[in-house]
Amino acid sequence: MAKSVLPNRVAILWYVAAWGVLVILQLSIVYLSTALPLLPTAIDGVFSTSLFALLGMPIWYITQLYQPGKTSTFNLVINQLTVGVVTVGGWALITEKVVTVLTAPWPEYGAFSSIPLATRVASGIFIYIMLSLVYYLIIYYNNLQEKVESEAKLQEMLVEVELNMLKSQINPHFLFNSLNSISSLTITAPESAREMLVKLSDYLRYTISTGTNNMTTLGKEMENITRYLEIEKVRFGSKLQYRFDIPEELLVCTIPPMILQPLYENSVKHGVYESTSEIIIQTHTWIEDGVLNFRITNNFEPGVPSRRGSGVGLTNINDRLKLIYRSDKLLKTQKHEGIFEVLLTIPQTKNGIS
């Protein structure tokens, strides 16, 4: 569907202003070079230019139909020549007849205006060519803007799809182990099995409900982390301990949903799983210069062979952070003196995907 030549008030103002400038230029050139009376010169200039401005509107739609790259060069040239001859010829004849009538009270101007018909046609051809070029430039600019917007929208959709894929990578082993634990507890401790089943249900409900959200609050995220750790405590008992040092005022801070989950899974898998002694997962959170900081640590037993994993968890976090915040330097890990430490920073000036 062809777009309007004057889609809004701004376009109308620009269109009128451009033709107004042309009227002033034409009036100045004729008046200063011929010393003809000002009024008939103005009548000629205003009428001839206004008529071409009106005839120029249909040219916009024809130009859209015959664009370079969308039609053959032959059709493009034939179309422009045909439209140009009809437009310029009709404009020149109508202008000559009407201006002759309107300027009749000034015989000296009538004598002038009846001579340069060829000059008027030449100026009409020049105006037509310039108008067509301007239209093609506008069409090219509009097409370029549409392409940029389409690519940006497509990129945003791809980012959203990729984020949803990353968020959906729940560790299946956790679900299997949890269900196995519940199965065992139904025989040995039915009440504990019921409690664990409720926690697992709440955990999965939160995981699913945040699937379409780009951001959540730290408070909601930590509630779900607590559910996860409590479920794991059923399996590991007192061997798994956790402590949170999170100021209450930070619970309203925004973070990507499920961004912390892989960190605690990592602590359980490589800390609690492999240890015969108590493992403490500690979380310290603070905000500095508009950035929310996390330090998550867990002790581990040096010398114990580490469980080999696919490394999906930390890679998942890095990929998501890079997509959301355009940085791959927000997550750091290190080991020292029997402590595994994760440092995570989340800017608070970025509320979602840019």
In this prediction, residues 23-29 reach a mean pLDDT of 80
Q: At what angle do helices 38-65 and 73-102 cross, to 10 degrees?
A: 160
The band of 160, judged by pLDDT with boundaries at 50, 70 and 90, is low
- Taking a C-beta distance cutoff of 8 angstroms, is the pair 89, 55 a contact? no
Last residue of a domain, one of 167, 194, 222: 167
Count of all residues that appear for the chain in the document: 354
- % of the chain surpassing 90 pLDDT: 19
By three-state DSSP, how is residue 347 classified? strand
Looking at the domain assignment, is residue 353 inside a domain?
no
Is the confidence at residue 140, as pLDDT, over 60? yes
Query: In this predicted structure, what is the pLDDT of residue 354?
Result: 36
Which residue has better confidence, 294 or 188? 294
What integer best gives the mean pLDDT of the chain? Answer: 82
80 inside domain: yes
Whether the CB-CB separation of 30 and 41 falls below 8 Å is answered with yes
3-class SS at 350? Answer: coil
Q: Which two tokens stand for residue 91?
A: 């404009």
- Residue 354 is assigned to a structural domain of this protein: no
Same domain, 148 and 220: no
Cα dihedral 107, 108, 111, 116 sign: negative
Residues sharing a CB contact under 8 Å with residue 153, sequence separation 6 or more, in sequence order:
none
Decide which of 151, 167, 183 is a domain's last residue. 167
What is the per-residue pLDDT across 80-107, written as a single tens digit (0 to 9) for each? 888 889 888 888 888 888 887 887 777 7
Per the structure, the complete domain to which residue 340 belongs is given by 172-347
CATH for 242: 3.30.565.10
Kindly report the CA angle at 31 between 27 and 33, in degrees rounded to 5? 120
Asked if 38 and 109 sit in the same domain, the reply is: yes
In a domain, 21, yes or no: yes
What totals of helices (H) and strands (E) does the chain contain, helices first? Answer: 10, 7
Domain count across the chain: 2
Tell me, yes or no, whether 277 lies in a domain: yes
pLDDT(236) > 60 = yes
Q: Read off the pLDDT of each residue in 11-16 and give the average, rounded to a whole number.
A: 82
Q: Are strands 291-299 and 279-288 parallel, antiparallel or unpaired?
A: antiparallel
